[in-house]
Amino acid sequence: MDYSFQWNWVGLQNYAQMLSDPIAGKVFNNTLLYVFSTLTFFNVGAALVISLITVHIPERVGQGYRALWLLPRITPSTVYALLWLWAVRQDPTALFNWILGFFGMEPVNWLHKHPWPIVILVNGFVGASFGMIIFTAALKSIPADYIRAARVDGASTFQIIRHIELPLIKWPLMFVTAYQTLSLLTSYEYILLVTNGGPGYYTTEVWALYSYHLAFAQYGGIVKFGYGAALATVLVILGLVLSIVYWRVFRLKELMIEPKIEV
């Protein structure tokens, strides 16, 4: 279906078009890069590091630090994106270039020169808060006796983290990984606001954004609901497949079953 809003049955034509779409391959690779990087460095990685640090420092400081990390999440997305655009603009007074200035370096057009790191940072700062809350809650629910016993046995903080805390938060870790993978696959809001898929030739265009652009947002008002929907369907299928993979690999079934003993 296009802007004529005529429901014409075209069979699998839209899917066949996808195979010959010269842009689809590039957009798919972009999506993999975006999901993997944001997930690894922020939505799971940074979230875990923040949680571990903030539960091992004085409670008040830890709470304050975590509250700061929630700010991007509770800021309206357009305001948040604008703040980033101001911070990375080419002017020497913009935050990033102001810092470079201390080292005597020339101002950089960050969005043009390094679009991917910026896209990952923008999304990561928002995405880390979810995992941070889950991991912190999980870490805090570890009985204090385990930690005390380890300390009495002479374990260092690193050893406590490595041998006690991480194994005990394995389920939340796997759940957040699975959940955030699916969430990132379909997200495009901040990319739309910050780079709109650019600069250049589909540089940061991800699958969900490509689907949105084709279906709703083209200059001449051309809308490709049919093709856009077919692209979005691919995400649904990919999400289902990944869910099954995660279910099997992470053995999430064990997380869901009744506990073998009553706690």
Partner 1 sequence: MRRKGASKPVTVLVALIVGVLIGAVIGYALSPKAPVTTTVTAPSGDLEKLKAENEQLKAKVEELTKKLASAGEGEITIKIWTIGPDPPSEYRLKNFQIAAEMLNKWLAALGSKVRIKIDGQFFVRPVEWGEYKNKFYLAYKSGKAPDIYLTGHEDVGFLAANGYIIPLDDYIKEYWDVVYYDVIPTLWEAVKYQGKIWAVPQDTEARPIYFRKDVLKKLGWSDEEIAQLPEKVKRGEFTLKDLLEVAKEAVDKGLVERGILHRVKEGYDYFQFYLAYGGRLWDAESGKMVFTKSAWRKTLQWFHDAVWKYKVISPTQFSGDWDKDFHGPFTQGKALFLSGGTWHKGEWVSKGLLTNEEFNENIGYMLHPAGEPGKKPVTLSHPLIYTITKQAQERGVADVAFLLITLVTDPHLNANHAVQSSHLAILYSEISDSRYKKEPFLADVAYMLDYTTFIPNHPKWGDYSRIVFNVLRGVESGDLTPDQAFNELLNGIKGLGSDAVIIED
Taking CB under 8 A as the criterion, the residue among 145, 201, 237, 260 binding partner 1 is: 201
92 or 200: CB nearest partner 1: 200
Taking CB under 8 A as the criterion, the residue among 7, 9, 102, 219 binding partner 1 is: 219
Q: Determine if 4 is a binding residue for partner 1 (CB under 8 A).
A: yes
In the complex, least distance from residue 200 CB atom to partner 1, rounded to whole angstroms: 3
HEC string for the chain? CCCCCCCCCCCCHHHHHHHHCCCHHHHHHHHHHHHHHHHHHHHHHHHHHHHHHHHCCCHHHHHHHHHHHHHHHHCCHHHHHHHHHHHHCCCCCCHHHHHHHHCCCCCCCHHHHCHHHHHHHHHHHHHHHHHHHHHHHHHHCCCHHHHHHHHHCCCCHHHHHHHHHHHHCHHHHHHHHHHHHHHHHCCCHHHHHHCCCCCCCCCCCCHHHHHHHHHHCCCCCCCCHHHHHHHHHHHHHHHHHHHHHHHHHCCHHHHHCCCCCCC
9 or 201: CB nearest partner 1: 201
Which residues between 42 and 101 bind partner 1 (CB under 8 A)? 90
Length, in residues, of the chain: 263
5 or 103: CB nearest partner 1: 5
In the complex, least distance from residue 149 CB atom to partner 1, rounded to whole angstroms: 57
Which residues between 102 and 141 bind partner 1 (CB under 8 A)? 109, 111-112
Conformation bin of residue 197: beta by default, left when phi > 0, alpha when psi is -120 to 50: left
In the complex, least distance from residue 207 CB atom to partner 1, rounded to whole angstroms: 16
Taking CB under 8 A as the criterion, the residue among 218, 244, 248, 249 binding partner 1 is: 218
101 or 198: CB nearest partner 1: 198
Q: Determine if 220 is a binding residue for partner 1 (CB under 8 A).
A: yes
Q: Determine if 217 is a binding residue for partner 1 (CB under 8 A).
A: yes
Taking CB under 8 A as the criterion, the residue among 16, 151, 216, 251 binding partner 1 is: 216
Q: What is the dihedral of CA 178, 184, 185, 189, to 10 degrees?
A: 160
In the complex, least distance from residue 195 CB atom to partner 1, rounded to whole angstroms: 7
In the complex, least distance from residue 187 CB atom to partner 1, rounded to whole angstroms: 21
Between CA 76 and CA 18 the distance in angstroms is 34
Q: Determine if 200 is a binding residue for partner 1 (CB under 8 A).
A: yes
> How many residues belong to the site for partner 1 (CB under 8 A)?
27
Taking CB under 8 A as the criterion, the residue among 222, 237, 256, 263 binding partner 1 is: 222
Between CA 160 and CA 148 the distance in angstroms is 10
In the complex, least distance from residue 2 CB atom to partner 1, rounded to whole angstroms: 8
Report the interface residues with partner 1, using CB under 8 A. 3-6, 17, 20-22, 90, 109, 111-112, 195, 198-203, 216-223
